[in-house]
Chain A
Amino acid sequence: MRKAFTPTVLLTLIVLLGLVLSACGAQPTPAPAQPAPAQPAPATAAPAATKAPEPTKAPEATKAPEPTKAPAPTAAPAATGQKVLRRAQSVIGKFGDPFHITGGQIDEWMFLSLSRLVFYNAKLDLEPDIAEKYTVSPDGKTYTFTLRKGVEWHDGTPFTAKDVVFTFNYICQKDLNAMQYPNVKVIVGCEDVNQGKATSVAGVTANGDYEVTLQLNNASSIFNHALTQIPIVPEHVVKDIPPADFTKSKFVTERWYPGTGPFIVKEFKGDESIELVANPKYFRGAPKIDVIRDIKIPDANTRLLALEKGEVDIAAGLPVAELERIKKIPGVELVYLDPVVPNVLFVNYHRGNKEADKPEQPKFKAMQDPRFRQALIHALDLDNLIKAVDPYGTTVKWNCPLAPSLGDLCAPDIKTYGYDPEKAKALLKEIGWDANWELIFVALGTPPTWYEIVQQMWAKVGVKATITPIEFANFIAEFYGKGKFDVIISGQARWVPLDILGTVHRCGFEYPKGYNSTQYCNPKFDEIFEKALATADPAVYKPLITEMTRILNTDLPTYPLWIGKSFQTMGPKVDASTFKLGCGYNWTAPHTWTLK
Chain B
Amino acid sequence: MLRYIVRRLLISIPVLLGITMITFAAYNLAPGDPISAMIDPSVPVAPEVLEKMKEDLGLNKPVYVRYVIWLKEALRGNLGYAYNSSTPVLKKIGDRLPATLALTTSAMLLAIGLGVPLGVYSALRQYSALDYVLTFFAFVAVSIPAFFFALGIIYIFSVRLGLFPVQGLRDPDAANQVLDFLRHLALPATALGLERIAGFQRYTRSAVLEVLGQDYMTTARAKGLPERTVLWRHGFRNALISMITILSLNIPGLFGGAFVIEWIFSWPGMGQLAVSSVNMRDYPTLMGIALIGSTLVLLSNLLADILYAIADPRIRYT
Measured CB to CB, the residues of A under 8 A from B are 1, 5-8, 11-12, 14-15, 17-19, 21-28, 61-62, 77-78, 80, 84, 93-94, 97, 100, 102-105, 177-179, 181-183, 247-248, 252-253, 269-272, 275, 293, 295-299, 301-302, 305-306, 308-309, 311, 341, 444, 471-478, 490-493, 500, 503-504, 511-515
Asked, given contacts A7-B243, A24-B98, A271-B85, whether A473 binds B281 with beta carbons under 8 Å apart, the answer is: yes
Measured CB to CB, the residues of B under 8 A from A are 31-53, 56, 81, 84-88, 91-92, 95, 97-106, 108-109, 112, 151, 154-155, 158-159, 162, 165-170, 172-173, 177-178, 180-181, 185, 240, 243-244, 247, 254, 263-266, 268, 272-273, 275-276, 279, 281, 307, 309-310
Determine the distance from Cα of A425 to Cα of B258 in the docked complex, in whole angstroms.
53
Whether the pair B44, A11 counts as a contact (CB closer than 8 A) is no
CB distance from B123 to the nearest CB of A (A): 19
Determine the distance from Cα of A475 to Cα of B41 in the docked complex, in whole angstroms.
8
Contacts of A305 in B (CB 8 A): 151, 154-155, 158-159, 166-167
Which one of A23, A444, A472 has the highest number of Cβ atoms from chain B below 10 Å of its Cβ? Answer: A23
Contacts of B42 in A (CB 8 A): 104, 341, 490-493
Determine the distance from Cα of A511 to Cα of B35 in the docked complex, in whole angstroms.
14
Residue of A nearest to B57 (CB): A247
CB distance from B91 to the nearest CB of A (A): 6
Contacts of A183 in B (CB 8 A): 46
Given contacts A18-B100, A26-B181, 12 further A-B contacts (CB under 8 A): A6-B310, A26-B170, A269-B95, A275-B172, A293-B172, A295-B266, A296-B268, A297-B168, A297-B266, A305-B158, A493-B43, A515-B44
Determine the distance from Cα of A12 to Cα of B105 in the docked complex, in whole angstroms.
8
Which one of B87, B172, B173, B254 has the highest number of Cβ atoms from chain A below 10 Å of its Cβ? Answer: B172
- 12 of the cross-chain contacts (CB-CB < 8 Å) are A21-B98, A25-B98, A93-B85, A105-B43, A179-B46, A247-B86, A270-B87, A297-B167, A471-B31, A471-B32, A490-B42, A512-B50
Contacts of A177 in B (CB 8 A): 49, 52-53, 56
Partner of B99, one of A14, A22, A491: A22
State the majority secondary structure of interface residues on A: mixed
Whether the pair A23, B178 counts as a contact (CB closer than 8 A) is yes
Asked, given contacts A297-B167, A471-B32, whether A302 binds B43 with beta carbons under 8 Å apart, the answer is: no
Asked, given contacts A11-B247, A102-B38, whether A22 binds B181 with beta carbons under 8 Å apart, the answer is: yes
Determine the distance from Cα of A48 to Cα of B37 in the docked complex, in whole angstroms.
29
CB distance from A20 to the nearest CB of B (A): 8
Asked, given contacts A7-B243, A15-B108, whether A272 binds B154 with beta carbons under 8 Å apart, the answer is: no
Asked, given contacts A5-B310, A22-B101, A503-B44, whether A103 binds B162 with beta carbons under 8 Å apart, the answer is: no
CB distance from A23 to the nearest CB of B (A): 5
Whether the pair A182, B48 counts as a contact (CB closer than 8 A) is yes
Asked, given contacts A77-B172, A299-B263, A311-B165, whether A11 binds B43 with beta carbons under 8 Å apart, the answer is: no
Asked, given contacts A18-B101, A22-B102, whether A298 binds B32 with beta carbons under 8 Å apart, the answer is: no
Whether the pair A18, B98 counts as a contact (CB closer than 8 A) is yes
Contacts of B33 in A (CB 8 A): 473-474, 476-477
